[in-house]
A = this chain, B = another copy of it.
Amino acid sequence: MIRFGVAPTDHGAYIIAEGNAAQIGPGCQVRRISGVANDLLVFLGERHDLAPTREAPRLCTHQLQLTLADLVVEAHDTHHPIASSLYYEDQRREAKRRAADFLKNRLPKYLAYFERVLARNPRGPTHIIGGRLSYADLSLFQVVAGLQYAFPNTMARLARRYRHVMVVHARVAARPRIAAYLASERRLPFNQQGIFRHYPELDR
């Protein structure tokens, strides 16, 4: 059996997989590997019925996930545009410039893209792909939650323009078991050490 847990690394949130080498594969010959989270979602999505089974929509789900991952990297780089090895305070001027561009150009572009994907879903705009929950819906929820923590003013303004995105966020949060998780101590609050950080001077 391969067991999973999540651990922070300097690449962001990684998933730790434990299993024997034969299960993990010859290029990862260690008992404990840190796997790229987006890759392991392909694996977990199949195991836990959180991804379409047909190849084309399955690949499409992964593609949406990778685009969300790009957005996460850009959200992170608003507070660390120069180097993750430096303190925020040592790159604050650059962070202000980068955050301004992110909120003006990049974030609306990403949100408009996901809004369009939802609007065009022939099964309706309540899921990012197909007519059932997939891991990409869960990821979209988490990204929106992080952005709302980091940039509350901007997100409040943008919410009206990206209704479908906001509805997916709200519906995931309202799922009984997700709601129970969010209300529990297992849900770590957003903070100033993570990918999403709230620096008021970076929000408009």
Contact = CB atoms under 8 A, between A and B. Distances in A.
| Oligomeric state, in copies | 2
Contact of A129 (B26, B38, B67, B86): B26
Given A42-B62, A117-B27, A81 B94 contact: yes
Contacts of A38: 66
Contacts of A81: 81-82, 94, 98
A49 interface: no
A83 B43 CA distance: 34
Contacts of A63: 28, 35-36, 39-40
Given A26-B130, A28-B60, A36 B67 contact: yes
A126 interface: no
Contact of A82 (B39, B58, B101, B117): B101
A73 B76 CA distance: 13
B60 A27 contact: yes
A171 interface: no
A155 interface: no
A86 B67 contact: no
A125 B95 CA distance: 41
A97 B83 contact: yes
A104 to B, nearest CB: 9
A25 B57 contact: yes
